[in-house]
Structure 1
């Protein structure tokens, strides 16, 4: 194994805070992106349903 302990994995020779904050930012932005896409999809579906109701 590359790291001898969990502490060494988290510290990463002093680079741990930078590395783990990048991972955290990545997953936060990924989650926001998925949430925003789902919200836009629901909004578009609602608009299509309203359009179909008006033109039926």
Structure 2
């Protein structure tokens, strides 16, 4: 399919709103699937570091 202009490409003979909305939804879903695990991973390691510090403080208090 060949388009005469960028506006014709964007409108896609009246179907552009459906085509581009599907692309937008797919992009949002893929970004979410990528970013949520990264955030959970960072949160997990932050919590583990806090727990390790807490255990270290408790151990130091028990020794001294």
Task: Answer yes or no: same fold by TM over 0.5.
Answer: yes
The residue number in structure 2 matching 1:4 is 4
Alignment length, in residue pairs? Answer: 56
Unpaired runs of 5+ residues, structure 2, are: 60-64
Instruction: Tell me the TM-score normalised to structure 1 length.
Output: 0.71
User: Partners of 1:3 and 1:51 in 2: how far apart?
Assistant: 60
TM-score normalised by structure 2 residue count: 0.65
CA RMSD of superposed structures (Å) = 2.2
Higher relative contact order (CA 8 A, sep 6+): 1
Following TM superposition, by how much is the alpha carbon of 1:50 offset from its aligned partner in structure 2, in angstroms?
Answer: 3.5
